[in-house]
Structure 1
Amino acid sequence: MQFQVINSPFNQEQVDLLNRLVPTLTENQKSWLSGYLAISQSATVSEAAATTEQEAPVAVVSSENTAKKEKREVTVLYGTDTGNSQNLAEEFTQKLEQEKFKVTLSSMDDFKPKSIKSVQDLLIVTSTDGDGDPPDNALSFYEFLYSKRAPKLGGVRFSVLALGDSSYEFYCQTGKDFDARLEELGGERIHPRVDCDLDFEEPAEEWFEGVFAKLNENNGESEQGQSSAGTVTETIEGQVTYSRSNPFRAEILESLNLNGRGSNKETRHLELDLEGSNLYYQPGDSLGIFPENDPELVNELIEEMDWNPDESVQVNKQGDILSLREALTSNFEITTLTKPFLEKAVALTANNSFKKLIDSDNREEINAYLDGRDLLDLVRDYGPWEATAQDFVNILRKIPVRLYSIASSLKANPDEVHLTIGTVRYQAHGRDRKGVCSGQCAERTEIGDKLSVFVQRNDSFRLPENPDTPVIMIGAGTGVAPYRSFLEEREELDIQGKSWLFFGDQHFVTDFLYQTEWQKWLDDGVLTKMDVAFSRDTAEKVYVQHKMKEKGKELYQWLVEGAHVYVCGDEKLMAKDVQSTLLEIIETEGGLSPEEAEEYLTEMRKQKRYQRDVY
């Protein structure tokens, strides 16, 4: 039996640990543990009773000392799409609880906005969607704060940790907005906002230590704020625990091209071996991969700069040393340029054209240069460079983890995880380019090779707790991956509730990903309905949203029956078009105004009946 939050008194973190530990125990170990817990509980009750019966002298404590021991209540709210903000919020909450703080942890969607005026210390951890919008589970709270209903927040102290990607124009915008609005409403900032790029671990920890020190000032405790909890790590006695900070080296068991001959796409189906990792995942979770840069690109960069590939360089604040070639291959991003990087790089060259570009602060001109270019382009375009290899390494950001929606059920595939990865290839500025991780998986790995991986929990993309609840799954291309995991899971659990899949791609013959599996599930009744859209097979392009509109009346009836709707895929195009179509269907079939349709969808999101996994 798998432990779940809904069928046990444990929280999610404890459930994950138990699901890793219990299957590894022998019958003898289980019996011993059962006896140990029984004896431990009995001893605790006896000690408590004995303490109650003793007539101990009553200590007289001054009101001044009592005030020092009364810690302010802390509320931690998170807004997340991929799970990073949630993971950090949970980690910080655990640290504070270990220091005896009273902490309330909540996603922004589950928090009652009006109660914010009663909060004492508010910590916000939030990501930002690509166009500077709040993540889905932060929308309602964000809109409330910026509405006329938002109360004055005199007496509320706050601090914001913002997560983002500096390659986007509206970097960390949601965190910046929350920070500004809380101050505008009269809140007191107890620690400056920190904006984190993709390598967020170190700045996030520094933010927490700064906040922790400030919280402790209220209690007359350590100014340094060094929590005795330290960094929270999950451990199981006698076993190594694998995580983002300690990834597992997973062997590639299978690597297949899902596209047929003649397709202009290459979509890899990867199967990885998790045996011995104790990694646990649920449908809706993602797998993180630490990729490596293409050695050819690394060599070109080193040759262009006339660097010594074997030169030793420092790669982090801890003083770790690697060869330059190894650092550029496995540690640092060299395939994407960002505006913050250009602003640092301009100090390393005397090139006036580059200085003019940066000094102009012309966002459109800078964006045009950033588009499709990498570090090799930059060093070729704006030399000569007055910098050492270490100077460049000092301003590079860490190579970002790639997150992929898991395409398998652990129940159906014990000790395995499956992924669906679209290989990125394109030409820009006279050079052929390829995706860092997708290129590595397609061209530079073979069966038997290993990838460094970890599981990224995503509680914002979960199957309904009630197995009878209908589900509607909408995805295009690799966005269909999590629905394969959904249906494998439902098949294993023999779930009878209705399911409906909308899938889109370019061509029926070459791009119908997992076609035989969907057909089998249709025949077996695991999948109730399926509608497909192949955009390049007809004169007029047809996408998933067009198929939704065609079936609008039936789709709305499923919503009335309480169906959960899932959307996975490109945020800027597919996901936005799907949402617009969904609103149109709700408005037309429900006889609602546009405003009422928006409210209907908002309520679905609050009830976790409308969930998106977008990128």
Structure 2
Amino acid sequence: MTQAVLIVIAILAILLGLHLFIVVYLLWQQKRSTSSSQLHPSYLVVYASQSGHAEIWARHTAEQLRLVDDQIVVKNIQDLSIDDLTEQQRILWVVSTYGEGDAPDSAQSFINKAFAQNLDLSHLSFAILALGDRRYANFCQFGQRLEQWLLQQQAQILFNTVLVDQLNSRDLEQWLNGLEQLTSVSLGDLANSQQMLPLKFAHRQCLNKGSVGEPIYKVQLIGDEELTWSSGDILEIQCENNLKEIEEFLVLHQRNQNAEISAKLRTLNLRELPVRRDQTFEQWIDQFEALAKREYSIASLPENGLLELVVRQQQTETGLGLGSGWLTEGLQPDQCVQAHIRHNPNFHLPHDARPLILIGNGTGIAGLLAHLRQREHWGYKQNWLIFGERQQQFDHLYQAEIHYWQQHGYLDQVDYAFSRDQAEKVYVQDCLRTQSIRLQAWIQQGAAIYVCGSLKGMASGVDQALKELLGVEWVEQLKLEQRYQRDVY
């Protein structure tokens, strides 16, 4: 081999070595950058969700921000550490408040460990999207409480906290506008991305004729054969005005029946009208607010071939409630409900044979029914139902199906609390106290607790009873292990 050839080989070897060094260095830099971005993302989006809305909006926020910056991390508040607060530069919070100002169950551990401390968060900038409902006292209280605590820790606010009433689109626009000012990028509206599906009205039946309480209806809807959902999921329906309400409105305002106008009025709020100024009728109704959506636990499974709801009529100052009135009286044969199935992972079942304790009252039977139907479908038999209503004679909802599950071994235990059937009222939390030994035994065997129904009275009473019987620490541990789940309203 000549000297010239050796020189060429040596040069090529050096070039190859240099090339490999550059490749390894670039890969190391990329890994280092990726690791750094994971430890300290440009934005950390934290959600505290009870029924799924806050998580949906947190993920939508992250998805939109990734259009301009891929270093975005989404985290459940129950997984948030003190180190996250002290190391992160910018946090966007999406938090819900439910009931009378309560924080979501998933937020309790964070509140206990963080709110009791004094931290130096002067390096931290934040913004808060607070979801709530003005029909309840202490509107968006958890979001406002979180803001107050962050400011006390010297954190800096990026823009004013956005308070959202029942997912009002105009309120949510403020959040998107705030993010757009931060990023100088136009962001998309989640509401426009959610597809509303037509569900055909199939059947309804009053389940508690003669009851001293408001009528409760089973409402069945039929959709596309390919619709899928899980037990624990929720149906959001678009409320509509019935034909009579539209006719009365047109007569009141001296307008003739018009198919186009009537169709437009179906989903507009005719109960709270904007002031009519010097404008045409068409211009005036363009200013109307859209009717709200309402949520109902789905009682059926896709295998049942339909969506089943359990709806109690609500009385308001202007008549029947928007959702309950539409579903139990306004909706007519061959009409469709515009609806959206919203997944509710916080109330889904694990696919295993662990014992299941199902507790609820009233229309909360819907969520419990779905879980029992799912457990039967999977073949898991260790189930315990505790259910409360007013009178056994009239309010024994789904008695035949519950009896079937008992007869075929899918319900180990059933306890009822019919509050009006004796002089001293009895509630589901009283059943827990009576069955305290069984409760503790089931929990020790790994049982999960699912509560569905009214927050005020029932769910709060159950929570207090569980803390008395199991201890506060044990109840908090059940929440962390996702063995204590609630779908309450």
Q: Which TM-score band applies after superposition, normalised by the shorter structure?
A: 0.7 to 0.9
Once residues 256 and 175 of structure 2 are traced to their aligned partners in structure 1, the CA distance between those partners, rounded to angstroms, is 35
Query: In structure 1, what is the equivalent of residue 484 of structure 2?
Result: 610
Q: Which residue of 2 aligns with 1:371?
A: none
The aligned amino acid for 1:155 is: H
Aligned to 1:449: 335
Are 2:291 and 1:399 aligned? yes
Q: TM-score, normalised by structure 2?
A: 0.84
How far has the Cα of 1:249 moved from its partner?
0.6
Q: Which amino acid aligns with 2:66?
A: E
Structure 2 vs 1, CA of residues 174 and 298 (structure 1 numbering), >3 Å: closer, same or farther? farther
**Residue 330 of structure 1, CA deviation:** 1.2
Q: Indicate whether 1:331 and 2:216 are aligned.
A: no
Structure 2 contact 417–427 (Cα < 8 Å) conserved? yes
User: 1: distance between equivalents of 2:254 and 2:473?
Assistant: 59
Flag structure 2 segments of 5+ consecutive residues without an equivalent.
Answer: 1-18, 27-32
Alpha-carbon separation, structure 2, partners of 1:232 and 1:468: 37
Task: Call closer, same or farther: CA 1:143–1:262 in 2, change over 3 Å.
Answer: closer
What residue number does 1:240 align with?
none
C-alpha separation in 2, matches of 1:493 and 1:167: 39
2:73 partner SS: strand
Contact 1:302 1:308 survives alignment (8 Å): yes
What is the CA–CA distance in structure 2 between the aligned matches of 1:255 and 1:201, rounded to whole Å?
31
The alignment status of 1:486 with 2:371, answered yes or no, reads yes
Deviation at 1:614, TM superposition (A): 0.8
The answer to whether 1:473 aligns with 2:363 is no
Residue 258 (1) aligns with residue 148 (2)? no
Matches within 5 A, 1:193-592: 193-214=161-182, 216=183, 224-226=184-186, 230=188, 245-260=194-209, 264-275=213-224, 278-297=226-245, 306=253, 308=255, 323=261, 328-332=265-269, 334=271, 397-410=289-302, 412-413=303-304, 415-425=305-315, 433-465=319-351, 467-496=352-381, 498-586=382-470
Q: 1:131 to 1:114 in 2, by over 3 A?
A: farther
8 Å contact from structure 1 (residues 90, 105) kept in 2 = yes
Report what 2:148 is aligned to: 180
- Pick one of 92, 96, 100 that aligns with 1:127: 96
- State the Cα distance separating 1:605 from its structure 2 match: 1.2
Percent identity of equivalent pairs: 27
Paired letter, 1:197: D
Q: How far apart in 1 are the matches of 2:284 and 2:348?
A: 42
CA contact (8 A) 2:249 2:270 kept: no
- Measured after TM superposition, the shift of residue 303 of structure 1 is 6.0
1:184 and 1:574 map into 2 onto residues whose CA distance is 35
Structure 1 residue 157 corresponds to structure 2 residue 125:
yes
- The aligned amino acid for 1:176 is Q
**Whole-angstrom distance in 1 between the partners of 2:301 and 2:289:** 34
The one-letter code matched in structure 1 to 2:237 is: I
- Report the counterpart of residue 45 of structure 1 in structure 2: none
Amino acid at match of 1:96: L
Matching residue of 1:357 = none
Q: Give the secondary-structure state (helix, strand or coil) at the position aligned to 1:330.
A: coil
Equivalents in 1 of 2:284, 2:112: separation in Å? Answer: 42
- Structure 1 unaligned spans of 5+: 1-51, 60-65, 217-223, 234-242, 313-321, 349-384, 587-596
Change (3 A) 1:599 1:298: farther
**Cα gap change, 1:539/1:232 in structure 2, threshold over 3 Å: closer, same or farther?**
closer
Post-superposition offset of 1:405: 0.5
Q: Cα offset for 1:206? A: 4.4
Q: Is the 8 A contact 2:41 2:72 kept in 1?
A: no
Distance 1:418 1:251 in 2: 12
1:120 shift after superposition: 2.0
Task: Tell me, in whole angstroms, the C-alpha distance in 2 between the residues paired with 1:108 and 1:296.
Answer: 47
Other structure's SS at 1:553 match: helix
The one-letter code sitting in structure 2 at the alignment partner of 1:437 is: G
**Mapped contact 2:231–2:348 kept (Cα < 8 A):** yes
The structure-2 alpha-carbon separation of the partners of 1:175 and 1:298, relative to structure 1 and needing over 3 Å to count, comes to farther
Amino acid paired to 1:492:
H
Look up the match of 2:52.
83
Contact 1:292 1:436 in 2 (8 A): yes
Contact 1:199 1:398 in 2 (8 A): no
**1:159 counterpart SS class:** strand
CA distance in 2, matches of 1:178, 1:525: 47
Matches of 1:396 and 1:600, distance apart in 2:
50
Is this contact kept in 2: 1:421–1:438, CA < 8 A?
A: yes
1:190/1:211 contact within 8 Å kept: no
Match of 1:592 in 2: none
Aligned equivalents of 1:161, 1:452: Cα separation in 2: 27
- C-alpha separation between the residues in 2 aligned to 1:78 and 1:333? 35
Query: What amino acid sits opposite 1:293 in the alignment?
Result: N
Which amino acid in structure 2 is aligned with residue 198 of structure 1?
Answer: Q
Q: Match for 2:77: what amino acid?
A: M
Task: Compute the displacement of 1:555 (Å).
Answer: 0.8
* Matches of 2:157 and 2:290, distance apart in 1: 30
Cα distance 1:569–1:557, how it changes in 2: closer, same or farther (>3 A)? same
SS at match of 1:568: strand
Q: CA 1:203 to 1:440, structure 2 compared with 1: closer, same or farther past 3 Å?
A: closer
User: Could you tell me how far apart the structure 1 residues matched to 2:239 and 2:334 are?
Assistant: 16
The equivalences for 1:87-102 within 5 A come to 87-102=56-71
Cα distance in 2 between the residues matched to 1:311 and 1:127: 41
Once residues 450 and 391 of structure 1 are traced to their aligned partners in structure 2, the CA distance between those partners, rounded to angstroms, is 28
Measured in 2, the distance between the counterparts of 1:84 and 1:186 equals 29
Go from structure 1 to structure 2 and tell me whether the alpha carbon gap of 1:391 and 1:153 turns closer, same or farther (over 3 Å shift).
Answer: farther
Q: Please state how far the C-alpha of 1:129 moved relative to its aligned partner.
A: 1.6
SS at match of 2:195: coil
Deviations 1:377-427 (A, max 9, x none): xxxxxxxx98877898687643221100110122x32x522111112247x
**Greater CA deviation, 180-189 or 279-288?**
180-189
- In 2, the alpha carbon distance for the partners of 1:114 and 1:556 equals 36
- Residues in 2 aligned to 1:511 and 1:244: alpha-carbon distance in whole angstroms: 40
- Return the alpha-carbon distance in structure 1 between the equivalents of residues 102 and 322 of structure 2: 26
Counterpart among 43, 54, 65 of residue 74 in structure 1: 43
Partners of 1:93 and 1:133 lie apart in 2 by 25
Contact 1:408 1:418 in 2 (8 A): yes
Return the offset for 1:263: 6.1
Counterpart of 2:12?
none
Q: Distance in 2 between matches of 1:492 and 1:585?
A: 32
**Mapped partners of 1:576, 1:266: distance in 2:** 24
CA distance in 2, matches of 1:396, 1:108: 37
2:10 alignment partner in structure 1: none
Q: Does the CA contact (< 8 Å) of 1:252 and 1:273 recur in 2?
A: yes
Amino acid at match of 2:466: L
Distance 1:301 1:522 in 2: 51
Counterparts of residues 1-80 of structure 1 (less than 5 Å): 73-80=42-49
Take 1:146 and 1:309, find their aligned partners in 2: how far apart are those partners?
A: 60
Cα RMSD (Å) = 3.3
CA offset at residue 212 of structure 1?
4.7
Cα gap change, 1:72 to 1:606, in 2 (>3 Å):
closer
